[in-house]
Chains A and B, each alone.
Chain A
């Protein structure tokens, strides 16, 4: 039982990070139809900026805030100077642009920061909490709690505010949204800024556990993308479930099966799911209107 709980909690913690990355993918995909492969770099920026700003003597909460702001600014710049000018281009072209942006951001981070690994102190100490025999790092609660707050906040924003409804409208049908007077360019900028913020928050929460470096985003983007696909691209609930599911699959795969094949196991399950339901667990079937 203790063993099961240990796997469960470590799976949920890692899964919460995948879920946040997947949420970032979802937000931008909904607003623009672009899969933003620079999403992982926002996570990296969140962690790295916090590390370097707090090393310069700024208190941690303020450093975290600065990091989120930096990520948002870079997200907006990415939209303004890379995505917006290529507005008319196909989705594939835009995706390639984001891959380029991701490489660029990684390169800049390598020069501005350095190539070493860095850590942040845990927000509430390193003494493990004992839950029915499973040892849990206090930071895990921060990650899980933080992810929950972000998800609820996003939900409230999308469902309860006019601006959020405008995002949903843009996602549903861009042309119709424009016809009823929504400025879809602003909405897209908002989506980039918002998902940059979500990514940065994920990076800050998780750095005390996973450490960070300039190239930490690559793998996270891959796992987050897999999570978004599993949950159904474009569905926020699907992104969260997909992320948690992949985290759990990895942890239980490593714990009960073989650690050598844990990634293979996780991706095998994803493949099976996508064979059975190509639109993902919660995705709507794409219908072409004629």
Chain B
């Protein structure tokens, strides 16, 4: 049996050595935080984000880190729960003392965390879709994914080129579908679009033929737009073909921009158009395209590391991480406020989602060119020739 004094001595020694190693670590590492929905209903978004961050932080560290400092990544899983997200955000700020945050899988989680980062004055690059994240502009909050408003504008732009103005809408009643529907209704007049019929379906519905029959029988209908997410749009697409409506141009949203949509909708997906990031058609981009190199490299890295097909969601995390890393390099400092200033000065950053140029009034920095209009042909994405 050890005497109490020996034990005390050992404890003291280990405490000293721990303290010492911590001190040594703190000098050449910086902490970047992340709260993602790796599990739960949004896991198909959070999982690729989580993998992307881990792959690239390892890669950056292997190459010597940022400005001589290694990055220590602290990731928490909120399970899709906004309350948990907020708790983890506070922990990142108070316990982990991160210098910046790349995360916030859903709009709900992001909005719950925004006040924490605003108060602590730590930059927060969100991976959530809705425009509310950066409108109105908050000093420390940025985001990388395209907004649903841009998707509507891109679709309407394409419709205008095809001289189609009378559209029917069938939208999911989930958060994504409802928000995009509202944005589309708002911007439709700017493009001379007239919504002649406006239908919805529940996110878990298994049959949309009733709504589509109504749309089909609407006089003057020229095209149909389906803002939605998950399996709903796949069923809508199948019902659309079932009812023999394929003569009418059909538009999906960027919410279905993953290979599984084509698999699920099958032959019915032929001819469907949708706006999506360049990442999906990396191999089909012309060599001259500025994004070609970034998207093909990201796709290769991600797919070889995870053995899973790449998704745009992981791409948002890639963009967020590298916007931050570049800003840290320029700032050459670990002061969150200086890093924030540099993030805002991001100019011509080529990411998977588009070319990002931020400003004091624009914390997203993407324009409509970030979206490509795709058409599904032969079971694969193809760049649609505009106006055809």
Contact = CB atoms under 8 A, between A and B. Distances in A.
Contact of B266 (A119, A216, A259): A119
Chain A: interface secondary structure? helix
Pick from B201, B231, B243 the residue with the most CB of A within 10 Å: B231
28 contacts: A3-B217, A6-B213, A7-B209, A7-B213, A10-B207, A11-B210, A14-B206, A117-B234, A117-B264, A118-B264, A119-B263, A126-B241, A126-B242, A135-B242, A135-B244, A206-B206, A209-B235, A211-B234, A215-B41, A216-B204, A251-B207, A251-B210, A254-B199, A254-B211, A255-B210, A259-B210, A259-B211, A259-B214
Nearest to A137: B242
Interface string B236-252: 00000111100000000
A118 B221 CA distance: 32
Contacts of A211: 206, 231, 234-235, 264
A120 to B, nearest CB: 11
Interface in A241-290: 250-252, 254-255, 259-260, 262-263
Contacts, number: 86
Interface in A118-146: 118-119, 126, 128, 135-137
Pick from A11, A14, A117 the residue with the most CB of B within 10 Å: A117
Contacts of B134: none
The 6 tightest CB contacts between A and B, nearest first, are A210-B206, A254-B210, A255-B210, A219-B204, A10-B209, A117-B231
A210 B244 contact: no
B244 A128 contact: yes
B182 to A, nearest CB: 13
A7 B243 CA distance: 12
Interface string A196-210: 000000000010011
Contacts of B266: 119, 126
A116 interface: yes
Pick from B210, B234, B241, B243 the residue with the most CB of A within 10 Å: B210
Contacts of A6: 209-210, 213, 243
Nearest to A121: B266
A32 interface: no
B210 A10 contact: yes
Contacts of B267: 126
Contacts of A13: 207
A244 to B, nearest CB: 14
A252 B266 CA distance: 28
